[in-house]
A and B are shown apart, each in its own frame.
Chain A
Amino acid sequence: MKQSPRYNQIQENMKPGAFTAHGFLGEDDRALKDIIRQDDADVEKLDLSHAQIAGRMQYFTELGKELLDIPVVVDEIYEVLVDDHRGEIPCPFADNQKAIKTNTRFTNKKLGITIYWSDLNIHMIRYHGFYEGKGSFFRNDPQKLAKALGLI
C-alpha cells in the first residue's frame, strides 16, 4: 500500500545509520504503514490497546529502575532488569519526543520467555502503535508481548 510522504520520511529515519546503527526495521521490507496496520489488527484481535500494552511495559520498567542494576522479581513470576546507557535517542516519528537509552530485560519465568525493550519502544507502542520491523533486535510481536506481560 502506498504511504504518505511523511511516513516515507519516518521510514527513512528508521533505516540503519539514521538514528541508530542498526535501525528499527530489521529485515522487514514492508512499508511502515503496512507494518503498523498489521500489528494494529493483531492487537485488536487480542482485545487490547497499544496503551494497555505500553502501560504494562512501563509498569515493569519503572519497578526495575528503582533497583538500578539489580533484577527485581515481581509476583514471583516476572523478573525485570533495567540497564541504562549514556545519551538520549529521538523518536523516529519526529514528534519531538526523546527517550533515555534505557533497556529492560523482562523474563516471564512461568512461560520461560525473555524479551527486551527500550524506553523508546514503550513510547513508540503507546503513541504510534509501532513494535519495530520483523528481525529488528527490539521487535516484539504483540501476541508474544501480551502473553509475556500476562495480559492474555
Chain B
Amino acid sequence: MKEILVTILSITGISTVLAVLIIIAEKFLNNYGECEIDINDGEKKLVVEGGSSLLSSLASNKIFIPSACGGKATCGLCKVKVLDGAGPLLPTEEPYLSQEERKEGVRLSCQVKIKKNLRVYIPEELFNIREYISTVTEIKDMTHDIKEFRFEFKDGEDIKFKAGQYMQIETKPYAKVREKATRAYSVSSVPSDNKAVELIIRRVPGGLCTTYMHDYVKVGDEVRMTGPYGDFYMRDDSDDYVFMAGGSGLAPIKSLVMDIMERNLDKKMIFIFGAVSKKDLYYTDFFREVEKKNRNFRYVPALSRPEPEDNWEGETGLVTEVLKKYVEGGKGKHAYLCGSPGMINACVNVLVDSEFDKKNIYYDKFS
C-alpha cells in the first residue's frame, strides 16, 4: 500500500515539475519580443509584439485585410505579399495559393505568425478600410429568409465606399457560440447615404453569423464592422449594363442601380432577378418604381418554380434561359452578376456565348 502511494506521489511530483518546466520554456521560447512590420518599402512601419498572426497584428494597428472567416484559414481572402520573414508555407495555406502566388511570396496573413521582422506589401486601397461601431436602427423582413438591416455609425462618423462593395460584420458570442465570427455582406444602400450602411442578409441554415443576425440582433444593438472591401464596383466605361442576381445578391445590384440613377448617368440597364417562387421576390415594387421613373431601366424578375397560387405571368424557368432571351449582342456591354457560384458560372457561359468580352463581366460569387 505504502509503495503504491509513494509511486503515485512520485509520478504526480514528476508530472508537476515537467508541466512547470514546459510553461516556463514556452514563456521564453515563444517570447519573440518586439518585431517590426515594414509595409510597402518603408511607407509605414509598425512595431508589434511577436507571437500573434500578421492578420490580427495589422488589424490592431487599424489596417484591415479582408477576411471572411475571422482567421481560421477557411476563406482564403486575407492574402498579403510577404517579402521577407514569414517562414515556411503552412499546409493550411496551400489550398488557397496558386503556384504564381507562391513564387511572389503571397501568404494567408491569418496563418503567418510574427516571429521576427517582416517586410510586406499591402495594396494602397486597403488603407482606406476602417473600423466602424454602429447601431442597428432598422430591421426589415424582406422574404421568409432574408432581412435587411440598417446600421448607423456612432458619433456621426461617415463612410466612403463604391456601390457594389461589401462590409465585414463581427458577431458577439451568443447561445452556444463562444467565439466571435466575421462574415462579409454586400451593401445595398447608396454611397451618398454615408452616415449608415444597409446590408441584406439571407439566413444560412446553421450559419454562425446569419443565425446571430436573424435571431439575436435587435434594433438598438451595437455592431462592429470593417470595410469597405471588394472590387465588385461600377466601371463607368460602358453605356449598356446587364445586372443579374439571385437571393441576397440583389443587395449590391440595388446599390449600383441607385448610384447610376443618382449620378444621372445616361446608361441603359436591365436587371434580371432570379428567384424560386413569388415568396422569394422582394424589392419588386421598388424596382417597378425605378422602371417608371427611368425609361433606360428594365426590371425582369424570373421564377424558377412558381407556385400555382402565385398566379405568375412573368418569366419562368432556368435563369440562364431568361438571360439568353433578354441579352443579345454583348459587344461593348458590361455585366454585373451576384449570386451563387452555380448561377454565376452558368450565366458567365451564356454571356460569353452572347459575345460579351470576359473582362467586362464582373461578378461577386457567394463563396
Question: B276 and A16: CB pair below 8 A?
Answer: no
Question: B208 and A86: CB pair below 8 A?
Answer: no
**A49 within 8 Å of B (CB atoms):** no
From B94, B177, B317, B319, A21 is in contact (CB under 8 Å) with B177
- Give Cα A137–Cα B75 distance, bound, in whole angstroms: 24
**B1 within 8 Å of A (CB atoms):** no
Indicate with 1 or 0, residue by residue over A85-113, a CB within 8 angstroms of chain B CB atoms.
Answer: 11111100000111011110000000000
With A17-B179, A65-B342, A84-B342 given, is the CB distance from A100 to B207 under 8 Å? Answer: no
From A21, A65, A69, A70, B208 is in contact (CB under 8 Å) with A21
- Give Cα A18–Cα B72 distance, bound, in whole angstroms: 11
- Give Cα A65–Cα B203 distance, bound, in whole angstroms: 20
Contact-residue size bin, chain A (C-beta under 8 Å from the other chain) = 20 to 34
- Give Cα A9–Cα B75 distance, bound, in whole angstroms: 21
Point out the residues of chain B lying under 8 angstroms from A15, CB to CB: 176
**A68 within 8 Å of B (CB atoms):** yes
Question: A87 and B346: CB pair below 8 A?
Answer: no
Question: A69 and B204: CB pair below 8 A?
Answer: no
- The total of interchain contacts (Cβ-Cβ below 8 angstroms) comes to 94
Question: A21 and B74: CB pair below 8 A?
Answer: no
Question: A17 and B318: CB pair below 8 A?
Answer: no
Question: A87 and B343: CB pair below 8 A?
Answer: no
Within the complex, the shortest CB–CB distance from A99 to chain B, in Å, comes to 10
25 A-B residue pairings within 8 Å (CB atoms): A16-B177, A17-B176, A17-B208, A20-B207, A21-B176, A21-B208, A21-B211, A68-B340, A69-B276, A69-B319, A70-B305, A70-B318, A82-B342, A84-B340, A84-B341, A84-B342, A84-B366, A87-B68, A87-B367, A88-B367, A90-B73, A90-B74, A98-B74, A98-B95, A101-B204
Query: Which 8 A-B residue pairs are closest in the complex by CB-CB distance?
Result: A17-B177, A86-B366, A16-B176, A90-B74, A69-B304, A84-B340, A21-B211, A20-B206
Q: A20-B207, A68-B340, A98-B74 are in contact. List 6 more A-B contacts (CB 8 A).
A: A68-B318, A68-B346, A85-B207, A86-B202, A87-B183, A88-B74
